[in-house]
Amino acid sequence: MKKLWGGRFTASAEEWVDEFGASIPFDQELVLEDIKGSIAHATMLSKCGILTEKEAETIIGGLKELKEKALKKQLEYSTKYEDIHLNIEHMLTELIGPVGGKLHTGRSRNDQVATDMHLYLSDQVAEIAALLGEFQETLIEKAGDHIETVMPGYTHLQRAQPISFAHHLMAYFWMLERDKQRFTEVLKRINISPLGAGALAGTTFPIDREYSAELLGFEGIYQNSLDAVSDRDFILEFMSASSILMMHLSRFAEEIILWSSQEFRFVELDDTFATGSSIMPQKKNPDMAELIRGKTGRVYGGLMSLLTILKGLPLAYNKDMQEDKEGMFDTVKTVKGSLKIFSGMVKTMTVNTDNMKASVTKDFSNATELADYLAAKGMPFREAHEVVGKLVLDCIGKGCFLADLPFEEFKASSSLFEEDIYEALDPYNAVARRNSAGGTGFAEVEAQIQKARLLTGLE
Ligand code: ARG
């Protein structure tokens, strides 16, 4: 078969080599973006008098027809035409004749492919931001139901201080809020047009890049043609924002997995988001949470892979850059899927408030309350820490908890203790009182949820 660049070549292509070089098996995902970019380009060429109105009309008509077919999944791609750009150009020429060949005036596949990817990511990132918003709403709703649900808070995975379950959920709300901001920030740099940069050096045709950028909804154009066709930092930024988001989801997933174990029994996942075992009838496995934790690895992998592909590439375009696509598509799919699943999982999970509460009653997570109590009465905190430490040791020896000690024992360790000590030891009170800004006190958590509602437009 004669290639588009056949003029310069003597030997004809070999199929197995073509297959290795082709990107059509995966870049067909960009078909709508490719057609959209071409329509804008043709419109601009005609406005600038480079194509006649008639030519542009014929080309755009053909492209629209191809778009209809693409939407109906009726286009048949071939590795003979390497990538989505050449496939579409070939189909267009078949459809409207040689005038189809004029579409490529004043552009190259190098600025074309970059344009397609900017268009693609722009839509996808907006969708991801919307999914993040939906997940945040789920968290707000769930947190709203559990402001006064008291649970153990951990450091080093050791019980530390009792907290509100809503507070724990809202911690993830704020992480996702920053994730959303990061994606929105990346959008600014995705929304720049490389179209018209040509192969690397611009073109001699009197094109209007600002105009085609405007037609495509971009906010501006790349100021340097070499930069426009050779950088992929907009994808890297997307992938790094995705990696950070997945890291957050993975931590949350890990907690859901722990919480649904028999050792914790803090939550029970809805059957939809769990699976059974083929051999152990009692099992209910948190597969979806585990998968999200696992998929975090592939998203990091995508980022590392693209960083490595770009490292050391001389300007401008190099075929290495064709390797930028699969990781990008995979990251988009993984992030969108993970967000949808996670939101559904949290929405439908049952919270075992009694188990959470029982855990904080039978532990030493109220020890800080006791130290704070003494410190509030004037004892230096370090000394108070020592006094309480001894009481804890005493309890461990006796096999009881702080609230089980008779009042005389408190009094014997410090004269500052009064009968109200038992109120201070109550985990519910311990949480209720922590109303410093951003603390876990019920009033503060309520205020936090209110702020979150305003931020997400729920109110
Ligand atoms: N399929 C190519 C890619 O994805 C398109 C650009 C090809 N340009 C070139 N000069 N070979 O990177």
| pLDDT tens sequence across 7-37 | 777 766 788 999 999 999 999 999 999 999 9
19-22 contacts, C-beta under 8 A, 24 or more apart: 19/79, 21/82, 21/319, 22/79, 22/82, 22/83
SS3 of 305-342: the string is: HHHHHHCCCCCCCCHHHHHHHHHHHHHHHHHHHHHHHH
The residue to mutate among 317, 323, 325, having the most atoms of ligand 1 within 8 angstroms of its beta carbon, is 317
Choose among 222, 234, 217, 235: nearest CA to 196: 222
The answer, yes or no, to whether any atom of ligand 1 lies below 6 A from the CB of 87, is: no
**What is the whole-number distance in angstroms between the Cα of residue 52 and the centre of ligand 1?**
28
The answer, yes or no, to whether any atom of ligand 1 lies below 6 A from the CB of 322, is: yes
Both tokens of 220, joined, read 């501006």
- Which ligand 1 atom is at minimum distance from the Cα of 84? 1
Q: What is the pLDDT of residue 13?
A: 74
The answer, yes or no, to whether any atom of ligand 1 lies below 6 A from the CB of 81, is: no
Q: What is the pLDDT of residue 2?
A: 62
**Nearest protein Cα to ligand 1, atom 11:** 319
**What is the whole-number distance in angstroms between the Cα of residue 118 and the centre of ligand 1?**
15
The answer, yes or no, to whether any atom of ligand 1 lies below 6 A from the CB of 110, is: yes
| pLDDT tens sequence across 64-108 | 999 999 999 999 999 999 999 999 999 999 999 999 999 999 999
CA torsion through residues 77, 80, 82, 85, sign:
negative
Q: What is the pLDDT of residue 283?
A: 76
Rounded to the nearest integer, the mean pLDDT of the chain is 95
Question: Hey, what domains does the chain have and what are their CATH numbers?
Answer: 14-105 (1.10.275.10), 110-199+223-358 (1.20.200.10), 363-447 (1.10.40.30)
- Reported pTM: 0.93
The answer, yes or no, to whether any atom of ligand 1 lies below 6 A from the CB of 109, is: yes
| pLDDT tens sequence across 292-339 | 999 999 999 999 999 999 999 999 999 999 999 999 999 999 999 999
| pLDDT tens sequence across 146-169 | 999 999 999 999 999 999 999 999
- Which ligand 1 atom is at minimum distance from the Cα of 23? 1
| 201 preceded by a cis bond (ω within 30 of 0) | no
Does the pLDDT value for residue 252 go beyond 90?
A: yes
Instruction: Report the alpha-carbon distance of residue 188 to residue 234 in Å, rounded.
Output: 9
**What is the whole-number distance in angstroms between the Cα of residue 100 and the centre of ligand 1?**
20
DSSP letters along 180-198, please? HHHHHHHHHHHSEE-TT-T
Instruction: Report the alpha-carbon distance of residue 299 to residue 172 in Å, rounded.
Output: 19
Instruction: Report the alpha-carbon distance of residue 357 to residue 370 in Å, rounded.
Output: 19
* Residues classed as catalytic: 156, 277
The answer, yes or no, to whether any atom of ligand 1 lies below 6 A from the CB of 317, is: yes
Q: What is the pLDDT of residue 14?
A: 85
Q: Which of the four pLDDT bands, split at 50, 70 and 90, describes residue 459?
A: confident
Does the pLDDT value for residue 223 go beyond 80?
A: yes
Our measurement of the distance from residue 39's CA atom to the centroid of its chain's CA atoms, rounded to an integer in Å, reads 31
| pLDDT tens sequence across 256-296 | 999 999 999 999 999 999 887 777 777 789 999 999 999 99
**What is the whole-number distance in angstroms between the Cα of residue 322 and the centre of ligand 1?**
6
Q: What is the pLDDT of residue 363?
A: 87
Does the pLDDT value for residue 445 go beyond 70?
A: yes
E-only strand ranges, 254-303: 267-268
Q: What is the pLDDT of residue 453?
A: 97
Q: Which of the four pLDDT bands, split at 50, 70 and 90, describes residue 415?
A: very high
**What is the whole-number distance in angstroms between the Cα of residue 93 and the centre of ligand 1?**
20
Answer for the pair 150, 360: CB distance below 8 angstroms, yes or no: yes
Q: What is the pLDDT of residue 1?
A: 58
The answer, yes or no, to whether any atom of ligand 1 lies below 6 A from the CB of 115, is: no
**Higher pLDDT, residue 366 or 453:** 453
Answer for the pair 16, 75: CB distance below 8 angstroms, yes or no: no
* Bridging pattern class, strands 192-193 and 220-221: parallel
